[in-house]
Structure 1
Amino acid sequence: MIVAGLMTGTSADALDVALVEFHLGGTADQPELRMDLRAFQEVPFDSDLALDILRLLEPDPVPLTLVSSVDRRLGQLCAEAVAAVSEETGLECELVVSHGQTIRHDVRDGAVESTLQLGQPAWIAERLGVPVLSDLRARDVAAGGQGAPLAGMLDHLLLVGGDQPRAMLNLGGIANVTVVSPTSDTVAFDTGPANALIDVMARRITGDPRAFDRDGELAARGEVDEALLADLLADPYYALPAPKSTGKELFHGTYLDRHLTRHPGLDPYDVIATLTRLTARTVAQACRPLGVSEIAVSGGGTRNPVLMSELRAELGTEVPVSTTDEALGLPSEAKEGCLMALLGWLSWHGLPATIPSVTGAAHGTLAGRFTPGAQPLRLPAPLRTGPARLHVAS
């Protein structure tokens, strides 16, 4: 089965499109799933769409017309992107899984009250004629979970079976980590900002509303301000127990400014260096109590050598840090697209796509809702047992 996985994250810069082929093998008691990444493309947003999405991610009120417009335009972009990749590769998918752009993830007193993603799936179904799975987080929230991080299932199936606790870390706008241990339940949670606050300062320094700290060049020009770092680390979120999740509803420009007013006159390069250290420090503080022996990293943060160097320094030589490319043969930039495809494969076969110990839900849930394609929706007979392991095809 070939599934197209679409992902746009909290960095809101591009659409990831992964065409993934799945093969189920193993035994009846211990089924195993092989995942073969057949094609991957990163499709940049045009300037207008990117700026409108970034506007939706700020805490200020926005007109409903903007929400509706982004919902349409992102759905259309998703449809054309999958069509283009399929035409270029000659691969036809049987299912499209579209995460959409999260514009709200509302958390009160540690509980997620609602989560909202844009990117109307009807445009994809109409353009391609195949079913579309979307709205992947809401059912877990309705079951009392965080609806995040969704990566827990993929990470668990890739890491299960080791003799020591191992972790997978994604550095997008927000950092999330999954820890798989032979002696306890798998846990996963958002550790805090990864690039969210770094991007804020990169845009202020450069004057480019879509800028990011390319190759860590901006952070490399500054020095960490320990007083600002201590102030940022005092945020109550970091002390909350898992399961927990967060987003740009908390970590945004206004949030940063509240801290900067207590530290006037800082050099902007020192601020961005401090924010880079903040990401590394909060990841390390989250992983250390869980006895993590090694970490495989994915996401845009892997392309920032200053951030990766800070992370290695915070974790020390006893916790090796590699990319998912190096550790698992899974391209770090394609991991979240593959994740979406996996969640679609599981839901298509009637299997839970979330883990209660990860999200805090009362039970594992099917992810998302289906939009039929050109034909009436016909699901296969549900599988009785889900895969025990996931292998990346070499």
Structure 2
Amino acid sequence: MSGTSLDGLDIALCDFDTNGVPSLLAATTTPLPKDLAQQLARLSQIQRLASNQPQCVTNDNVHLQAVADRQFAEFSASAVNQFIWAQQQAGVIHTDSIITAIGSHGQTIRHWPTGDTPYTVQIGCPSTLAALTGIDVIADFRQKDIALGGQGAPLAPAFHRAVFAQAQHTIGVLNIGGIANLTLLAADSTLGFDTGPGNCLLDSWFVRHHPESAQQYDADGQFAQQGEVVPALLESLLADPFFSLTGPKSTGREYFNLAWLDAWLQQHPASLSHTDVQRTLLELSARTVVMEIQRLGIQHCYVCGGGVHNTALMQRISELAIAQASCQVHSTEVLGVAPDWVEALAFAWLAWSFVQRRPSSLASVTGASRDAVLGGLFPAA
């Protein structure tokens, strides 16, 4: 799994029981090479036209996309092969063990499910990945849901229901990646949607003002904690139409990016400090999450994703959740799943569901016309 943060590839080795409940045998994250991450970020940037349709910024986008498609697959294959070798050396995988399949999300470079012709694009050539690893690959998970009229995202709520649902309680599962998404698990229903930016704006603003930093994120929210919330700026950001939409809804860095932020900043004094903007962006991520927690009446919310390591963000979400929604915020660790690996486990589960021919999308989440088996098979043979 590689998400909108563009920080690394999460790899999880999973074993499933007959009910599709996974056991996590081993996991690791391989950082994306900086030049590849920059190329992927460029491909995901768009400019808006009067028709509100996306237009490529580069004149030779097809070539750049095709090259990145192969490069990301080659990077993924190298990371998988190294991971398997390490697990063989550790005795986790026996040399005669057979891995059924690789469930590959690929890297989203464009997600536009609400246009006149909805689409979503994930690159990371699955045929290349299968050829270089010698393992069957199951990929292309989002396209069928788009074809059925859905958003194509988020896909994790079906996995959340399979693994985290509690018969007697209604709970929420919050994933904070580049984009934050929230799942409601009730006894008789499952809902889920993107709430807006998680880490993406925080990371981008930090990198803009720390271009030489070895880390591409605001560790523990230290940069944000040096500033103060700017109420007028926060009010402007919260006025974006996306936040007033109810699900199904999904988004990505093609919407929430520095160009989006700069457009709002033009309405405010140029003298705003960099740290005050960062603190306001943190408040935006926290408030847009808690607005939905409150609206859905969630009283216990379990958090996963890279955002759990931003202590300032987690503290603010917890404070707001208690004050505005009487909601307790926990890590998914409490439910037996380490927060760093939930998304990778989800795409392993999607691959398992494909092999079993079990529906793995939820129309109640994405807005599709029906639930469906997602993915396509790319054999290694």
SS at match of 1:316: helix
Report if the CA contact (8 A) 1:355-1:363 is conserved. Answer: yes
Shift in Å, 1:112:
7.5
Report if the CA contact (8 A) 1:228-1:263 is conserved. Answer: yes
SS at match of 2:195: strand
Q: Which residue of 2 aligns with 1:181?
A: 186
How far, CA to CA, are the matches of 1:297 and 1:77 in structure 2?
Answer: 29
TM-score (norm 1): 0.88
The answer to whether 1:103 aligns with 2:97 is no
How far, CA to CA, are the matches of 2:169 and 2:238 in structure 1?
Answer: 29
SS at match of 1:149: coil
Report if the CA contact (8 A) 2:21-2:162 is conserved. Answer: no
Alignment partner for residue 284 of structure 1, among 290, 294, 302?
290
How far, CA to CA, are the matches of 2:101 and 2:376 in structure 1?
Answer: 12
Shift in Å, 1:323:
1.0
Residue segments in structure 1 that go unaligned for 5+ positions in a row: 1-6, 25-31, 375-394
SS at match of 1:108: coil
Shift in Å, 1:221:
0.5
Q: Which residue of 2 aligns with 1:262?
A: 267
The 1:123/1:333 distance shift into structure 2, 3 A limit, reads same
Q: Residues 237-248 of structure 1 correspond to what in structure 2 (within 5 A)?
A: 237-248=242-253
Report if the CA contact (8 A) 1:105-1:112 is conserved. Answer: no
How many percent of aligned residue pairs carry the same amino acid? 37
Alignment partner for residue 228 of structure 1, among 218, 229, 233?
233
User: Which letter maps to 1:245?
Assistant: S
TM-score (norm 2): 0.91
Deviates more, 1:313-322 or 1:284-293: 313-322
The answer to whether 1:319 aligns with 2:306 is no
Q: Which residue of 2 aligns with 1:70?
A: 68
Shift in Å, 1:98:
0.7
Report if the CA contact (8 A) 1:174-1:195 is conserved. Answer: yes
How far, CA to CA, are the matches of 1:33 and 1:339 in structure 2?
Answer: 11
How far, CA to CA, are the matches of 2:194 and 2:143 in structure 1?
Answer: 17
Alignment partner for residue 85 of structure 1, among 83, 86, 92?
83
How far, CA to CA, are the matches of 2:169 and 2:25 in structure 1?
Answer: 31
Q: Which residue of 1 aligns with 2:17?
A: 23
How far, CA to CA, are the matches of 2:367 and 2:6 in structure 1?
Answer: 27
Alignment partner for residue 198 of structure 1, among 173, 195, 202?
202
User: Which letter maps to 1:145?
Assistant: G
User: Which letter maps to 2:357?
Assistant: G
How far, CA to CA, are the matches of 1:47 and 1:239 in structure 2?
Answer: 35
How far, CA to CA, are the matches of 1:131 and 1:338 in structure 2?
Answer: 17
User: Which letter maps to 2:2?
Assistant: T
Shift in Å, 1:68:
1.2
The CA deviation string for residues 234-259 of structure 1, in whole angstroms up to 9 with x for no partner, is 11111112111111121111110011
Alignment partner for residue 141 of structure 1, among 128, 141, 146?
146
The 1:206/1:71 distance shift into structure 2, 3 A limit, reads same
The answer to whether 1:170 aligns with 2:175 is yes
Q: Which residue of 2 aligns with 1:373?
A: 380
The answer to whether 1:336 aligns with 2:343 is yes
Q: Which residue of 2 aligns with 1:36?
A: 23
How far, CA to CA, are the matches of 2:164 and 2:287 in structure 1?
Answer: 24
Report if the CA contact (8 A) 2:21-2:163 is conserved. Answer: no
Report if the CA contact (8 A) 2:20-2:349 is conserved. Answer: no
Runs of 4+ in 1 over 4 A off after TM superposition: none
User: Which letter maps to 1:319?
Assistant: C
Residue segments in structure 2 that go unaligned for 5+ positions in a row: 48-56
How far, CA to CA, are the matches of 1:198 and 1:45 in structure 2?
Answer: 19
Q: Which residue of 2 aligns with 1:379?
A: none
User: Which letter maps to 1:337?
Assistant: A
Q: Which residue of 1 aligns with 2:51?
A: none
Deviates more, 1:225-234 or 1:76-85: 76-85
How far, CA to CA, are the matches of 1:54 and 1:202 in structure 2?
Answer: 15
Shift in Å, 1:47:
1.6
RMSD of aligned C-alpha atoms? 1.5
SS at match of 1:280: helix
Shift in Å, 1:208:
4.1
Report if the CA contact (8 A) 2:73-2:125 is conserved. Answer: yes
How far, CA to CA, are the matches of 2:376 and 2:117 in structure 1?
Answer: 19
User: Which letter maps to 1:197?
Assistant: L
Report if the CA contact (8 A) 1:106-1:114 is conserved. Answer: yes
SS at match of 1:144: coil
